[in-house]
Chains A and B, each alone.
Chain A
Amino acid sequence: MNKYQLRVETGVMSFWKRYKGKPLGMIGLIIVIIYVFIAIFAPFLTPYSPKQILLADRIAAPLWFRYVIPKYNNAPQTVTIGFDSPLYEIKDMPVSHIIEYNYSAPKTFSLTFDCWVNAPFHSEAGFECLIKTPEGREYSLWGKSYSSDSDKQVVRIDSRDLGLKQRLGLTIFEDPASKIFSSRGDYSLIFRPNPGFGDTSTRLYISNVKLHIPGLVHGILGTDHMGSDLWTQLVYGTRISLVIGLSAAVISVAVGTAIGIICGYLGGVIDEFIMRAVDVFLAIPVLPILIILGAILGKSIWNIVILVSAFAWMNTARLVRSQTLSLRERIFIEAAKASGGSDIYIMSTHILPNVLPLVFASMVLLIPTAILTEASLSFLGFGDPRVATWGRMLHNARGFGAFTTLAWWWLVPPGLAITFLSLAFVFIGNTINEIFNPKYRERL
């Protein structure tokens, strides 16, 4: 017993010594460490949650495009202006507020405020809210007449409102936001009583004024079709991919190893039967069966892990079996048998440690397969609907307009993320193989 422990320990030390010398293996390891870091510290890497929507306009480009691509030089960032003064009282004079707007035209904007009125009974007074452009054009966004007191009311004006378009004399397919905010400079937001109309003792009170102009550029990677932050989705997707990749690989390799050792060591009918089962499993097209089983079992991450494992253990089993077959004939096994060791004892203490290096490498090489399988499932819309994964980002990009808006920045990052993570594991796996199993070198 002790002898083997010692062997494993010195094995680890010497393995690391040899591993350090392989540049590709080290690159792989560093990449994986970076991904793990991103996964763990996801909440610190982004201020948003992956489910938050309307952070900017839909399909906004990355913020840094402003500095790199001329077309985006003046693209609007999200502007939210809340006015300092909590309450405005409007009687005979207009109240106005200057808004500095220094971008090109946005697609939409919205304005919200609370308002209520103190009016003498049977009076008649009207108020309106308007925006004055730097050129002096006026756009009346809201107006209302009062003949008595009113309760506090929340007013929400949205540039997409068909009523507003009508009020501004636009057709329903025209865009008020781009008409109003068409130039750069100082705009004023004005609340005023209608001229020559109304009792001077009528008061309009306005509070909580908030102007929101969703940006057309946002964050590190822009936004998706719901205005949700893509960088956040990418960062949180790391977690899911790592969890799925690692757990599916561990489960399938554990199952494959156990089956491989049992078949190789015991042989006979069990071996024949299981190896036939392996053939059957290998003959089943994986993705179709996963889609079908996923539909039955329900789409959760853990179901996906189990399903991916269920169709990934076969190669490990074959590999381990053939290794076991050759080990079985070795002298030390014969010796252990002769000294009366039970089958389970021999399998776990003599055979298992000897197949471990092989198994370890194939486990690492299975991780990318699992990650790619999950990504494919999610991309087809058969993944877990509740979590943001890279596959789902690609599904959304495909389904919700990345192509027609030519939003390549939506399509490229998730694929790159998958690629680098997969490559890293391939590098690590190959390096392990190079060290332990030189025969399998470069056989992906």
Chain B
Amino acid sequence: MVYSRYLLKRLIYALMVLFIIITFNFIIFRLIPGDATKMIIDPKFTSEAKAELKREFGLHEPTHVQYIKYVGNMIKFDLGISFSTGRFVINELKERLPNTMVLFLTSFVLTVVIGISIGVYTASKQGTFSDGFVTGAGLFTYAVPAFWIQLLLLMLFGYYIPILPVHGTISAPQPYGLFLQILDRVHHLILPAGSNVIVGFGSWALYTRNTMLEALDQDYIVTAKAKGLKENIILRHHALRSVLPPIITLVFGALPGVVSGAVITETIFSWHGVGKYLTDAIMMQDYPAAQGAFYLIALAVVVCNFAADIIYGFVDPRIRIGEGGKE
């Protein structure tokens, strides 16, 4: 009962955020200097053809009419037609989304799993080396420009020792057979996903380790130790369970940041994904395309946050017994 009310509240909140993003999206793209038809400078286009084009994109209507239509279209996932290609933006995004998902999920899951494992491991093996390693890795994530590490790795394994592909998600042409195709994809994933893991795992390790250490100091753990339970059982059953809720929050809270990183990663490795689509669209002043890409990214973040709320409510007993949870 309490849980479902909590969920309803979070759902309303998520929808609110979505609505704000749609509105924001609508406003900012009207503010961009110039208009789409300006980009077409080609003597084959007569002025009438340009006016026709303008009408087609609905740019001649009053702003509030455009807005109402816009909100409706966004809900229906009708993201309009790209200025630069004349194709439906949603179709172009559909072609790119799987690529982004593959890159994004692989690197995110690997980063989190590796980071947390290292954190848990080093929490149990306290010592100068593991201390130094985790702190160093944490600092590395925080202070080193991720894209720079990616550039260095690209130069090293793409150009100095050219053993890894430097662009794209598959070979041209794609090999035949499922096994070879998977192998081919993995080969292309190594650099972008691997570099993401290298630059990202440190903060997870550091955070997990610190939270674990704090938890280990707490009373019930001390009691468990006193009861003579084995160190790693304590670690697994008690400490880990108590640090899980904050880490889950953090996992989903990190998503907007990871999405930002995806934009750069896709640019560096010429990855045919949504992030690259967004930057290209802005460079081309292709509003509908940029709007669509941004909407999709923001939507993904909102959905993930909502998922985090659901899971959080599940793992954090305080919500179920009605203490208000994370607020």
A: residues with CB less than 8 A from B are 276, 279-280, 282-289, 291-293, 295-296, 368, 372, 375-376, 379-382, 394, 397-398, 402-404, 406, 408, 411-412, 414-415, 418-419, 422-423, 426, 442-444
- Contact in complex: B278, A296 (CB < 8 Å): no
- Closest chain-A Cβ to B282's Cβ sits at a distance in Å of 5
Chain B residues near A412 (CB, 8 Å)? 152
- Contact in complex: B138, A280 (CB < 8 Å): no
Q: Mark B246-289, 1 if CB is under 8 A from A, else 0.
A: 00000001001101110110011000000100110011010000
**Contact of A368 with B142 at beta-carbon distance under 8 Å, contacts A285-B259, A288-B294, A379-B147 already known:** yes
**Contact of A288 with B278 at beta-carbon distance under 8 Å, contacts A296-B31, A444-B138 already known:** yes
- Contact in complex: B139, A444 (CB < 8 Å): yes
Q: Mark B138-151, 1 if CB is under 8 A from A, else 0.
A: 11001111011101
Stretch from B13-21, B45-53, B74-82, B231-239 at the A interface = B13-21
Q: Mark B294-310, 1 if CB is under 8 A from A, else 0.
A: 10011001100100000
Give the interface size class of chain B: 35 or more
- Contact in complex: A419, B256 (CB < 8 Å): no
- Contact in complex: A444, B144 (CB < 8 Å): no
Q: Is B135 an interface residue (CB 8 A)?
A: yes
**Contact of A376 with B253 at beta-carbon distance under 8 Å, contacts A292-B290, A406-B159 already known:** no
- Closest chain-A Cβ to B56's Cβ sits at a distance in Å of 23
**Considering the chains assembled together, what is the distance between the CA atoms of A339 and B132 in angstroms?**
52
Task: Find A368's partner among B143, B283, B294 (CB 8 Å cutoff).
Answer: B143
A sample of 6 inter-chain contacts (CB < 8 A) reads: A280-B20, A285-B257, A291-B263, A295-B285, A382-B282, A403-B155
**Contact of A285 with B297 at beta-carbon distance under 8 Å, contacts A291-B278, A296-B32, A415-B148 already known:** yes
- Contact in complex: B268, A398 (CB < 8 Å): yes
Q: Is B160 an interface residue (CB 8 A)?
A: yes
B residues 18-70 touching A (CB-CB < 8 Å): 20-21, 28-29, 31-33
**Considering the chains assembled together, what is the distance between the CA atoms of A404 and B155 in angstroms?**
9
Chain B residues near A375 (CB, 8 Å)? 145, 147
Q: Which of B16, B138, B152, B256 has the most CB of A within 10 A?
A: B256
**Considering the chains assembled together, what is the distance between the CA atoms of A380 and B275 in angstroms?**
12
Which 5 A-B residue pairs are closest in the complex by CB-CB distance? A415-B148, A287-B260, A422-B143, A285-B259, A285-B256
Task: Find A292's partner among B259, B267, B282 (CB 8 Å cutoff).
Answer: B282
- Contact in complex: A282, B155 (CB < 8 Å): no
Task: Find B154's partner among A295, A403, A418, A426 (CB 8 Å cutoff).
Answer: A403
**Considering the chains assembled together, what is the distance between the CA atoms of A296 and B28 in angstroms?**
8
- Contact in complex: A444, B283 (CB < 8 Å): no
Chain B interface helix/strand/loop/mixed: helix
- Closest chain-A Cβ to B269's Cβ sits at a distance in Å of 11
- Closest chain-A Cβ to B293's Cβ sits at a distance in Å of 8
**Considering the chains assembled together, what is the distance between the CA atoms of A393 and B29 in angstroms?**
29
- Contact in complex: B148, A418 (CB < 8 Å): yes
- Contact in complex: B142, A398 (CB < 8 Å): no
Chain A residues near B263 (CB, 8 Å)? 285, 287-288, 291, 380
Q: Which of A287, A379, A418 has the most CB of B within 10 A?
A: A287
- Contact in complex: A288, B259 (CB < 8 Å): yes
Chain A residues near B144 (CB, 8 Å)? 415, 418-419, 422
**Considering the chains assembled together, what is the distance between the CA atoms of A118 and B149 in angstroms?**
65
- Contact in complex: A286, B142 (CB < 8 Å): no
- Closest chain-B Cβ to A270's Cβ sits at a distance in Å of 16
Chain B residues near A414 (CB, 8 Å)? 148
**Considering the chains assembled together, what is the distance between the CA atoms of A398 and B294 in angstroms?**
25
- Contact in complex: A406, B142 (CB < 8 Å): no
**Considering the chains assembled together, what is the distance between the CA atoms of A293 and B158 in angstroms?**
33
Q: Is B197 an interface residue (CB 8 A)?
A: no
**Considering the chains assembled together, what is the distance between the CA atoms of A394 and B155 in angstroms?**
13
Task: Find A443's partner among B13, B210, B282, B283 (CB 8 Å cutoff).
Answer: B210
Q: Is B212 an interface residue (CB 8 A)?
A: no
Q: Is B90 an interface residue (CB 8 A)?
A: no
- Contact in complex: A419, B32 (CB < 8 Å): no
- Closest chain-A Cβ to B273's Cβ sits at a distance in Å of 13
Task: Find B264's partner among A287, A408, A422, A444 (CB 8 Å cutoff).
Answer: A287
- Contact in complex: A285, B143 (CB < 8 Å): no
- Contact in complex: B256, A276 (CB < 8 Å): no
- Contact in complex: B13, A276 (CB < 8 Å): yes
- Nearest residue in A to B159 (C-beta to C-beta)? A403
- Nearest residue in B to A425 (C-beta to C-beta)? B143
**Considering the chains assembled together, what is the distance between the CA atoms of A341 and B278 in angstroms?**
52
- Contact in complex: A419, B143 (CB < 8 Å): yes
**Contact of A282 with B253 at beta-carbon distance under 8 Å, contacts A404-B159, A411-B151, A415-B152 already known:** yes
- Nearest residue in A to B294 (C-beta to C-beta)? A288
- Contact in complex: A284, B203 (CB < 8 Å): no
Q: Is B103 an interface residue (CB 8 A)?
A: no
**Contact of A422 with B142 at beta-carbon distance under 8 Å, contacts A285-B259, A442-B210, A443-B210 already known:** yes
Q: Which of A276, A292, A412 has the most CB of B within 10 A?
A: A292
- Contact in complex: A284, B206 (CB < 8 Å): no
- Contact in complex: B290, A379 (CB < 8 Å): no
